[in-house]
Structure 1
Amino acid sequence: MKQAMLKTGASTLVPIEQRPFVAAARRSALRPVRPEMSADAYINRIATVVPEHEVHQFYLRFAASMLAANRRRIFERMAGLAGIESRYSCFAPALDPEGAYVDRAGTFVRGAFPGTAARMAMFCEAAPVLAKKGVDGLQLGNEASRITHLIVTTCTGFSAPGIDLDLVRSCGLSDSVERTMIGFMGCYAAVNALKLARHIVRSDPQSRVLLVNIELCTLHLRETTELEKLLSFCLWGDGCAAALVTAEPSGIKLDSFHCAVADERRDLMRWDIRDHGFDMVLSGQVPAAIHDALLSNQHAFLGGRPTEAIDLWAVHPGGRSILDAVERALNLAPAALKPSREVLRRYGNMSSATVMFAMQEMLKAPPGLLGCGMSFGPGLTAETMLFRTVS
């Protein structure tokens, strides 16, 4: 049998099988996959953490102090309907919410709140600490050196070198780990991170992907007398979620993803970088827009299934009115969104980390259940996914 040959620059014929890059490719193709691996991707573990400083009532009183008496009563009534009992911040509040300083360190001075540069310096100091606590919660131990990919999502602070390299150093990851930063996508970034992790694991079942969603939303506190902006800020808290995604069939199997963008309503939710921090615009029309988007795309994101076929719902609790809109649009029973409402009650809206707090509850469910996760953010964008509990 004739050997296939290649002609080199020196006119020497070399068998293809002896070419180094071909031999390596064939060895890789023939390398057996470990029996416990599959072509699917699974969330094996999720760990969540919040900072030590509980600030919800403090911030409500601070916000109310900026309003005239008649508007203060409106604010207090509406804030009381938010379904939030506690939120946490990396930054210790001052003793008096109506005093000259808002934080104990004296950085947020009434009438002279810090600029974006100072806030980014605070992010660079606090975010890596909280992110490491999140990863430590996974209890990776010796597994840390086996992590092949690191994906970090955040929309509340930026620097380079950033959190990804901080985590490589502090968590014992390999210097050669493949790092991806997903920045400024807002609350739905965690779903995009899971989507990317699924692609990675399905393309190489040996991959072990570490996801970290880290947000310091309270860093962007602003002074304003605009009622809508004050109510919007009273949703936000700081938090971190870490997850391990591999081909090992345990935990939650990631089935499919779907994205819907209501471009004609893109200005209802925005997150802009200004001179004095990041400015969140969250219109009161957002719940209605999400309601309409879900009605229009229900067949696509549920894969043609009726809502009755879904056993578990992990919905990003962007606010009580948003959860109410999801419940109405999909005609869900009140108990369906209990995990999301509980996350909102205990932690508020932590942007990209929040839906992972709800997903952590899904890991406690018995195997064989079909679930739907979704998050909403600037665009106006809805990122959804279907998943199944395995163990």
Structure 2
Amino acid sequence: MTQSITTAVHGIGTAVPSHEVHGAFIDWASAHVADERADKMFLRMAARSGIDQRWSVLPHGDDGGSPVAPGGFYDRDPLPGTAERMAAYARYAPQLALAAIGDLASRVELGGITHLVVASCTGFVAPGIDQIIARELGLDADVERTFIGFMGCYAGITALRTGRHIVRSEPDARVLVVAVELSSLHLTPTDEIERLLAMLQFSDGAAAALLTAADAAPADAMRLGDPASLALAGGEELIQWHIGDAGFSMELSGAVPRRLHDALEDPAVRVQLIGDTPPDLYAIHPGGRSILDAVGRGLDLPEHALDDSRAVLAAFGNMSSASVLFVLARMIAERRTGSGIALAFGPGVAVEGLAFDLPR
């Protein structure tokens, strides 16, 4: 019988842009809500979002202001079209990805990369950012590349799972996994509270991880366990991501938290995603305060079980596929130990999970 190969994560690097935009967005969105009562509701919910900061790759305006300020990227009517936004993606996404890889390189040795897995759902460019990253890093021309596109927030789990499969099939592989998202490229003018609150969640960020077989990793490196996938019945309309003439439009229903809560409360779903024994650690995608609250209630978690996810949400917002890697990076930095489960949610509604272990 062939011995199963355990996959290890040597380390995780992260990066966000330097331009903080959360307060500027709230002011911009509030100005678009004509009804005073609705505006008060929006501002109240924004204050309860659990988010303190969000970041954008877009440069400061002429007066040093945000992208929605005079001279900023969005200071025009109509707003920039999809082509201009994709040009910005082609420029900034590789830069942010390389910054995360640079942070990873400050922690671990990145020589000998054999495979590159890149996840991103906020833009398209060809040649792809996987090729751009490989070229900028000076990787061998025959490095095997995989691009995971347009899957949404759970694609970070999908990328790690893909890296795990590669290592298990090729034990000598050294897999560089990257997730990079530029959500701030997709601002859409609207007076609909639900859509404004959806945009309120999202931010720009990138994360990178090195995966190898466990016997080629330090003894205290994170180990990856079994994956799990589940598409929830009846959730097709709750999270959608459409490409329009003025960027990508996110449809995020306020019913999502309840749908997740009800699913996770089902013992059969819990076993499918988590297994028979509750883990010590929960790396839950910080899709929003209400999402984390729903997961906490649905899984009946202890009070502080989601502290790492809440801390990432507060400091960075929802960075789509990169977010769950930020949570795992925080757990590593905080020297958490024990068995764990990483869960992320996205269009469908679908759930992706991956077990892990942080050795004591």
Could you state the TM-score of these two structures normalised by the residue count of structure 1?
Answer: 0.85
Note closer, same or farther for the CA distance 1:66–1:110 as it changes in structure 2 (3 Å cut).
farther
Which residue identity is paired with 2:272?
Answer: A
Whole-Å separation in 1 of the counterparts to 2:238 and 2:168: 36
Determine whether 1:185 maps to 2:151.
yes
Q: 1:382 aligns with which of 345, 351, 354?
A: 351
Q: 1:340 aligns with which of 296, 305, 309?
A: 309
**1:219-268 CA-partner distances (Å, limit 9, x unpaired):** 00011111110111011110000000111343111111111111311110
Q: Which has the larger radius of gyration?
A: 1
Note closer, same or farther for the CA distance 1:94–1:70 as it changes in structure 2 (3 Å cut).
farther
Shift of 1:384: 1.0
Whole-Å separation in 1 of the counterparts to 2:225 and 2:316: 28
Determine whether 1:224 maps to 2:217.
no
Q: 1:303 aligns with which of 256, 271, 275?
A: 275
**1:162-207 CA-partner distances (Å, limit 9, x unpaired):** 2111111111211111000000000000111111111110111100
Which residue identity is paired with 1:298?
Answer: R
Q: 1:120 aligns with which of 81, 86, 108?
A: 86
State whether residues 249 and 390 of structure 1, in contact with CA within 8 Å, keep that contact through their aligned partners in structure 2: no
State whether residues 291 and 328 of structure 1, in contact with CA within 8 Å, keep that contact through their aligned partners in structure 2: yes
For residue 57 of structure 2, what is the aligned residue in structure 1?
90
Whole-Å separation in 1 of the counterparts to 2:334 and 2:188: 40
Whole-Å separation in 2 of the counterparts to 1:110 and 1:332: 46
Determine whether 1:109 maps to 2:79.
no
For residue 316 of structure 1, what is the aligned residue in structure 2?
285
For residue 358 of structure 1, what is the aligned residue in structure 2?
327
Note closer, same or farther for the CA distance 1:132–1:105 as it changes in structure 2 (3 Å cut).
farther
Q: 1:373 aligns with which of 334, 337, 342?
A: 342
Whole-Å separation in 2 of the counterparts to 1:195 and 1:103: 41
Q: Is the partner of 2:134 in helix, strand or coil?
A: helix
- For 1:187-226, what aligned pairs fall within 5 Å after superposition? 187-226=153-192
Whole-Å separation in 2 of the counterparts to 1:197 and 1:129: 22
Q: 2:252 aligns with which of 278, 282, 285?
A: 282
State whether residues 269 and 280 of structure 1, in contact with CA within 8 Å, keep that contact through their aligned partners in structure 2: yes
Whole-Å separation in 2 of the counterparts to 1:142 and 1:54: 29
Determine whether 1:72 maps to 2:42.
no
State whether residues 375 and 382 of structure 1, in contact with CA within 8 Å, keep that contact through their aligned partners in structure 2: yes
Q: Which runs of 4+ in 1 moved over 2 A?
A: 92-99, 103-107, 140-145, 364-368
For residue 14 of structure 1, what is the aligned residue in structure 2?
none
Number of residue pairs matched by the alignment: 351
For residue 18 of structure 1, what is the aligned residue in structure 2?
none
Note closer, same or farther for the CA distance 1:347–1:368 as it changes in structure 2 (3 Å cut).
closer
State whether residues 86 and 346 of structure 1, in contact with CA within 8 Å, keep that contact through their aligned partners in structure 2: yes
For residue 329 of structure 1, what is the aligned residue in structure 2?
298
In structure 2, stretches of 5+ residues that fail to align are none
Query: Mean Cα displacement is larger for which, 149-158 or 69-78?
Result: 69-78
Q: Is the partner of 2:153 in helix, strand or coil?
A: helix
For residue 3 of structure 1, what is the aligned residue in structure 2?
none
**1:117-159 CA-partner distances (Å, limit 9, x unpaired):** 1100011011111111111111179954410000000000001
State whether residues 11 and 108 of structure 2, in contact with CA within 8 Å, keep that contact through their aligned partners in structure 1: no
Of structures 1 and 2, the one scoring higher in RCO (CA 8 A, sep 6+) is 2
State whether residues 145 and 172 of structure 1, in contact with CA within 8 Å, keep that contact through their aligned partners in structure 2: no
Which residue identity is paired with 2:345?
Answer: F
User: What is the alpha-carbon root mean square deviation over aligned residues?
Assistant: 2.2
Whole-Å separation in 2 of the counterparts to 1:314 and 1:282: 22
Whole-Å separation in 2 of the counterparts to 1:230 and 1:242: 30
State whether residues 261 and 295 of structure 2, in contact with CA within 8 Å, keep that contact through their aligned partners in structure 1: yes
Shift of 1:59: 0.5
Q: Is the partner of 2:282 in helix, strand or coil?
A: strand
Shift of 1:96: 8.3
Which residue identity is paired with 2:157?
Answer: V
**1:45-82 CA-partner distances (Å, limit 9, x unpaired):** 10001000000001100100111233211110111110
For residue 175 of structure 1, what is the aligned residue in structure 2?
141
Q: 2:262 aligns with which of 288, 292, 309?
A: 292
Q: Is the partner of 2:306 in helix, strand or coil?
A: helix
